[in-house]
Structure 1
Amino acid sequence: MKTWMMVLALATATPAAARDLGVPADKGWKHAETGLILMSQLAGLSRIALTDATQTERDVAAQYDMPDKSVFATIYLFHPAISDVALWFDRSQTALETRDTFRHAAPASADPIAFTAANNGTATSLRQVYATPGGAYRSTALALMPVGEWIVSIRMSAKTLTADQLDVRLQQLIKAVRWPSSATTATSAAAPVTACTAPLTFTKAKQAKPNGADLLMSLMSSTVAAKAKTEEKLTPQAPHPTWCRDGTARTEYGVYRSSASTGGYVMALYDAGRVISVYPSLMGQADKSGTYAVSLEDVDGTTSVFPSFTALPSPKQVWDLVEGGKRNGTVNGKVITINPKAL
């Protein structure tokens, strides 16, 4: 979950390091924005670390361990750019299954299990347990649960427990978390992401020449999107979009398309909430040039805008662009910053 820091550092030209929240080991911790509470002891495991990869508690990790080190768990709480359990469960599965430690992990069930974490009656969460023969651990598990617009992700591994035994311990740990009321309001049942029926095809795309009007429209559309998200909370919710996975998932990113999309795609980075959006630019639609805008949205709400492309770029082209850190501008709340070289 922490490898994304390297990408973020490249994209923002600022260091990214987790900070210790400094909560006494025998005290509980309450997340200010969601109200979720993690006690010092959960289902027999003791909290041994509590860190935040941001400055505003938007990417928190709490580590728990048994005294004999036979079972450990990490609980992540983050605010994703796209609030969708199925999408981030898909990314977390890829992160787990591509690690050398768990490369030969065998899932205990054919599909992830949908369940309810906060007794709201709707199976809004997903979990999966694995047997890991021949490795340092006998079993490992993954669970993702929504808390309003936030996601709670739990990774748990055991040295001697079978997959079924670990599943019991995982559910005990989930039950021990003090869930806020926002965890009981979700109404959309969770279902695993599936492959898109018709994969995207890509033609030759080049970086478009610097265009100040294109940049300003991309930056302004980011602020409009943020405002729309706020207004959605005040109006009846539209049908929750579903996502399909385009192509083969990689550790670094997965490509997804929404049922509500009119073109383009998103790239979910690693498994910690950051998203790159690739969609027709407003300028490209206005002047019929067909350009595509590229933007990176972080968990703190900051949006970075990158150079546009003359046509729909491949995910590899977009990844190389963002990894290179060549931002044209950023939006953070009402503050817009522009790179003069991009005008």
Structure 2
Amino acid sequence: MRKILFLPSFFLILGYAEASAQPTDISSEPDQTWVHQHTGTGFPARLGGFDRSRIRDLTEDQLDIVVSYKDADQKDVLTLYLYRPAINDVPLWFETARQSLMVGGFAQFAPELVTETVFTPPGQLSTAGMVVSYSLTGSESKSTAIAMAPLNRWLLKVRYTSAKYDAQSLADEIPKIVSAVETGDIIEQAPEALAVKPCAKKLKLKSKVKRFRPSLVDALIGGAITSTAEEEKSDPDKPAETVTYCRDPGEYGRWTVFRANESKNSYILPLGDSGRALSVYRNTLSGAISGDNRRRYTPVHMKLGQQDIFTDINVLPVPETLVAVINQGAIISSSTTWPDEGSTITIDSGLATDE
């Protein structure tokens, strides 16, 4: 059930990443498994030869958890992340994490791809997990790896850098690490993980946009839409098709554009590899209701527990322009996506009286 609230008019300037509380340490008994409050996931005190050293909450409600492990000589680094992504898709976030690694600090050590493969996480019946491993040169570390596994509506990410294992051996260790994390008895089955491929053609994106004057209808429609995949459904009587993301082949600097089912009218722009993203999609419903047949696109800031809807624009923008639209724009409505039981839509009250 959706609950709709009208709150005082607001105008927010947002940065690239989701505004959140400062990371806070979570206390735990050093010799006992720490259990995540929302998922029941247990992180052992000792894992794969490592001792748990730190647990941090990057949000205010354990929606993004970082669990650090250290070995005796502190040359190997193991970090586990548990977060509730705005879009529940392993290949999308795995590819984002892989690309983030290549443009990050490890790029200076000339990482060489050794293996990229899939594995079957605990409780799953298919190869729903993904791992990539690189060998490193010019560093004390021999290898580094990233893995992603589904955990019901959440994602478990593993980052492992080793001075002991070569890249292939490190890749072989990853499924053991994931299996050692304790999960609940009920595991939702996830689809087989398939590598993200380039889209067949790149989108025609524009650098200059014009904003529409927002209305109450826009705010209500935007707040009610919880996924850009909705825009892709042409026949509501047909079952929802599986969403497969491709990587737009255009060159956008630091940004990578992903498209659901080769969409020509929408895209996803991840903000880092921890589940947050911007999106923009063709909004045909607002124009149909208002009688305005001009093309319009809705920008969305997709956070871990909420989606913020911004004023419609007239074209599908390049990533830099979409970021600017979000940074400089007004939120007209927001829709909570956490907790799972229902959602609350918050509307800018100024739209209710503005004619």
Shift, 1:317, TM fit? 0.8
Residue 249 to residue 166, structure 1, CA distance change in 2 (3 Å): farther
SS at match of 2:225: helix
Q: Which deviations, in whole Å up to 9, do the C-alpha atoms of 1:183-234 show, x marking residues without a partner?
A: 4x325211110000011112464231422235423443236x69x9xxxxxx
* Match of residue 31 from structure 2: 26
Q: Which runs of 5+ in 1 are unaligned?
A: 1-7, 229-235
| Higher share of residues assigned helix | 1
After TM superposition, list the pairs within 5 Å mapping 1:97-246 onto structure 2: 97-103=102-108, 104-109=110-115, 112-118=116-122, 120-183=124-187, 185-203=188-206, 205-213=208-216, 215-222=218-225, 238-246=240-248
> What TM-score comes out, normalization by structure 1 length?
0.84
Name the amino acid aligned to 1:33.
H
1:127-164 superposed Cα distances (whole Å, 9 cap, x missing partner): 01110111242110010000111110000001242112
- Share of identical aligned residues, percent? 23
Counterpart code for 1:25: P
Matches within 5 A, 1:294-305: 294-300=299-305, 302-305=306-309
Q: In 2, distance between residues paired with 1:239 and 1:55?
A: 34
After TM superposition, give the deviation of residue 173 of structure 1 in Å.
1.6
| Counterpart residue number, 1:231 | none
- 1:252–1:270 contact (8 Å) kept in structure 2: no
Please give the alpha-carbon distance, in whole angstroms, between the structure 2 residues aligned to 1:136 and 1:50: 26
In structure 2, what is the equivalent of residue 312 of structure 1?
316
Q: Would the aligned equivalents of 1:291 and 1:309 in 2 still touch at CA under 8 Å?
A: yes
Instruction: Specify the SS of the correspondent of 2:286.
Output: helix
Compute the RMSD of aligned alpha carbons: 2.9
1:88 counterpart = 2:93:
yes
- Greater shift, 202-211 or 171-180, is seen at 202-211
Distance 1:17-1:252 versus aligned 2 partners, 3 A rule: farther
> Is the 2:67–2:81 contact (alpha carbons within 8 Å) kept by the matching residues of 1?
yes
Task: Using the TM superposition, give the Cα deviation of residue 12 of structure 1 relative to its aligned residue in structure 2, in angstroms.
Answer: 8.8
Mark the runs of 5 or more structure 2 residues left unpaired by the alignment.
Answer: 1-12, 231-237, 337-342
Query: Taking CA–CA contacts closer than 8 Å with sequence separation of 6 or more, which of the two structures ends up with the larger relative contact order?
Result: 2
Instruction: Report the TM-score, using the length of structure 2 for normalisation.
Output: 0.81
Q: Which amino acid aligns with 2:214?
A: N
Paired residues of 1:293 and 1:307 also in contact (CA < 8 A): yes
Cα 1:148/1:313, change in 2 over 3 Å? same
Q: Give the match for residue 284 of structure 1.
A: 287
- 1:12, 1:325 within 8 Å by CA — same for their partners in 2? no
Return the letter of the residue paired with 1:190. A
Name the counterpart of 1:334.
344
- What is the identity, as a one-letter code, of the residue corresponding to 1:220? G
Query: What is the deviation of 1:307?
Result: 2.5
